[in-house]
């Protein structure tokens, strides 16, 4: 019976341990050998747990006291900060009134000088914008830094420019005016198209142009000089070289009148595409129009040469009484000689047949020139339409925010129309000239054949 009771106690101990009611140390110990030993083990475990619980309760009491202390400190801090905030607000109001009084006092003391400083501010801003694009800044860099400092000082509304700063502003205005009318040489750093920086002599023509070693320069970042990637024609480059080597007298030089405003005319001139570049803008349709136009010119020149030689031989035949078969008129007269004894109607038919045989050789190529003259403008229109389609597709994808891109696409599309007209107009002129030569020869043949038929009818 004692054994069964011991087993039940051990099972209850395991259940209590699983529920957390008995310390794990009891379960972890060896199994009791008797009920007395088990009872002793449970008693010692309760004593250890009671000690642990007392320690935890003491720790909780200390933490609660600390939290109460922290809460009291937080309340005290908030009260002190609120009192400090109220003091600062009162002080801010007092200082704001003091600032208003000082500003009113400043306005009263400045009087008419306030308007003067307003004009000074606007003048400084205008001069700053002018110097940032002035070519004189390439020779005298760093002028805008002083103006930036002066502008920031006057914008602060608490500082006024000194007499020295006002005098320097006046000096910079005068120097810009004087230097804008001078042609001077100075040494500066020039950025080459490949990025290399070279120290070389530079000639500044007022505020219009910068040249060096026969090359035109541009101003970048307000003070740096860079050689233009594309230069104007060789004529202007040679004039720039002559100006740099000149020591006195007058020298012809191409001046950009828009230089003070950034040199827009020079940039537009050198950035405008050349004839070859415009021709390439026509793309495939442009190449086809060019090929057709070249073929038309060659055909017209060849037919003009052939008809000129033929006309010369026909004119020689008119002065000769003996038929010569090296020209159409001679061959027509030979037919008349062969049919001298026939009746008038037969001779007329023979002569008409001879003239008809000569007509294809005389009019050869005329219809082709006429067709080319008609087709060339149509090809140009085709290129323009396809180019406009591509341009509007780009607008659909990228939008119409860049007018330059739209203008460039439309300009490229219109190149084919120009090419078509450039081919059609001279082709029409050449067709007219060649057709006139051919008609002159045919008129002589018809005139001579009709005369022969009339003479034969008179003899009958």
**pLDDT over 90 at 412, yes or no:** no
pLDDT, greater one: 94 or 277: 94
* DSSP, residue by residue, 130-173: HHHH-THHHHSTTHHHHHHHHHHHHHTSS----HHHHHHHHHHH
**pLDDT over 70 at 395, yes or no:** yes
Q: Looking at residue 391, what is its pLDDT?
A: 78
Q: Of 60-74, 107-121, 296-310, which range is least confident? A: 107-121
In this structure, the number of other CB atoms found within 10 A of the CB of residue 441 comes to 23
* CB-CB contact of 440 with 400 (8 Å): no
Torsion angle of the four alpha carbons 257, 260, 264, 265, in this order, in degrees rounded to the nearest 10: 10
Share of residues in the chain with pLDDT > 90 (%): 15
Q: 336 exposed, middle or buried (CB, 10 Å; 0-12, 13-18, 19+)?
A: buried
Tokens of 183: 């042609």
Could you give the angle at which helices 283-318 and 328-338 cross, rounded to 10 degrees? 50
* CB-CB contact of 205 with 263 (8 Å): no
**Cα distance between residue 260 and residue 252, in whole Å:** 20
DSSP designation for 252: -
pLDDT tens digit string along 209-255?
Answer: 888 988 888 888 877 888 888 888 788 888 888 888 888 888 888 88
| Distance (Å) of CA 320 to CA 312, 316, 337 | 13, 7, 14
* DSSP, residue by residue, 13-63: HHHHHHHTSS-HHHHHSPPPSSHHHHHHHHHHHHHHHHHHHHHHHHHHHHH
Q: 6 exposed, middle or buried (CB, 10 Å; 0-12, 13-18, 19+)?
A: middle
Helices (H) and strands (E) in the chain, counts: 15, 5
Rg (CA), the chain: 54
In this structure, the number of other CB atoms found within 10 A of the CB of residue 15 comes to 11
pLDDT tens digit string along 437-455?
Answer: 999 999 988 888 888 888 8
Mean of all residue pLDDT scores within the chain: 81
In this structure, the number of other CB atoms found within 10 A of the CB of residue 138 comes to 22
**pLDDT over 80 at 208, yes or no:** yes
What pTM, to 2 d.p., does this model score? 0.54
Q: Do you know the residue count of the chain?
A: 460
pLDDT tier at 400 (50, 70, 90 boundaries)? low
pLDDT tier at 371 (50, 70, 90 boundaries)? very high
pLDDT, greater one: 425 or 393: 425
**pLDDT over 80 at 327, yes or no:** yes
Torsion angle of the four alpha carbons 388, 393, 394, 398, in this order, in degrees rounded to the nearest 10: 140
What average pLDDT score do residues 403-422 get? Answer: 79
What average pLDDT score do residues 304-317 get? Answer: 90
Q: Looking at residue 65, what is its pLDDT?
A: 78
| Residues forming a β-bridge with 220 | 224
Q: What is the sign, positive or negative, of the torsion defined by CA atoms of 344, 350, 354, 360?
A: positive
In this structure, the number of other CB atoms found within 10 A of the CB of residue 365 comes to 19
**Cα distance between residue 180 and residue 265, in whole Å:** 18
pLDDT tens digit string along 13-52?
Answer: 444 444 444 444 444 445 657 777 767 776 676 666 677 7
**Cα distance between residue 207 and residue 261, in whole Å:** 9
**Cα distance between residue 85 and residue 16, in whole Å:** 60
- Annotate 367-405 with b (16+ C-beta within 10 A) or e (fewer): eebeebbebbbebbebbbeebeeebeeeeeeeeeeeeee
**pLDDT over 90 at 430, yes or no:** yes
- Annotate 272-295 with b (16+ C-beta within 10 A) or e (fewer): eeeeeebbebbbebbebbeebbee
From the centroid of its chain, how far is CA 85?
58
**Cα distance between residue 293 and residue 288, in whole Å:** 9
**pLDDT over 80 at 291, yes or no:** yes
Could you give the angle at which helices 344-362 and 328-338 cross, rounded to 10 degrees? 160
Q: Looking at residue 262, what is its pLDDT?
A: 60
Q: Looking at residue 319, what is its pLDDT?
A: 84
């Amino acid at each position: 019976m004692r054994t069964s009771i011991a087993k039940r106690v051990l099972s209850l101990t395991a259940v209590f341990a699983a529920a957390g009611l008995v310390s794990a140390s009891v379960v972890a110990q060896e199994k009791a050998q008797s009920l007395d030993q088990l009872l002793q083990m449970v008693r010692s475990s309760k004593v250890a747990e009671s000690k642990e619980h007392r320690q935890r309760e003491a720790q909780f009491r200390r933490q609660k006291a600390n939290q109460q202390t922290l809460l009291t400190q937080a309340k005290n801090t908030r009260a002190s900060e609120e009192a400090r905030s109220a003091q600062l607000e009162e002080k801010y109001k007092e200082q704001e009134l003091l600032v208003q009084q000082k500003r009113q006092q400043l306005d009263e003391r400045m009087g008419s000088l306030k308007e003067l400083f307003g004009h000074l501010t606007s003048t400084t801003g205008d001069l700053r914008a002018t110097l940032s694009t002035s070519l004189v800044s390439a020779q005298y860099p760093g002028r805008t830094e002083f103006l930036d400092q002066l502008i920031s000082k006057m914008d602060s509304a608490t500082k006024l420019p000194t007499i020295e700063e006002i005098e320097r502003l006046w000096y910079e205005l005068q120097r810009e005016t004087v230097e804008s009318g001078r042609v001077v040489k100075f040494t500066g750093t020039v950025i080459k198209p490949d990025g290399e920086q070279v120290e070389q002599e530079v000639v500044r023509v007022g505020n219009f142009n910068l040249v060096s070693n026969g090359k035109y320069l541009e101003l970048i970042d307000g003070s740096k000089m860079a050689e233009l990637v594309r230069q104007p024609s060789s004529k202007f480059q040679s004039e720039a070289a002559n100006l740099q080597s000149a020591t006195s007298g007058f020298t012809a030089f191409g001046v950009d009148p828009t230089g003070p405003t950034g040199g827009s005319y020079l940039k537009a001139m050198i950035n405008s595409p050349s004839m070859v570049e415009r021709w390439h803008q026509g793309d495939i349709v442009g190449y086809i129009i060019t090929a057709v136009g070249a073929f038309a010119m060659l055909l017209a020149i060849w037919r003009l040469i052939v008809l000129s030689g033929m006309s010369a031989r026909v004119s020689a035949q008119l002065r000769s009484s003996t038929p010569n078969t090296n020209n159409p008129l001679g061959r027509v007269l030979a037919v008349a000689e062969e049919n001298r004894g026939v009746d008038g109607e037969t001779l007329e038919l023979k002569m008409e047949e001879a003239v008809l045989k000569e007509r294809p050789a005389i009019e050869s190529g005329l219809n082709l020139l006429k067709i080319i003259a008609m087709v060339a403008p149509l090809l140009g229109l085709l290129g323009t339409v396809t180019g406009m389609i591509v341009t509007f597709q780009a607008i659909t994808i990228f939008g119409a925010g860049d007018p330059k891109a739209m203008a460039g696409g439309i300009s490229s599309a219109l190149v084919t129309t120009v090419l078509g007209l450039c081919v059609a107009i001279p082709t029409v002129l050449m067709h007219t000239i060649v057709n006139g030569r051919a008609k002159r020869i045919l008129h002589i043949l018809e005139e001579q054949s009709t005369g022969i038929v009339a003479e034969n009818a008179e003899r009958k």
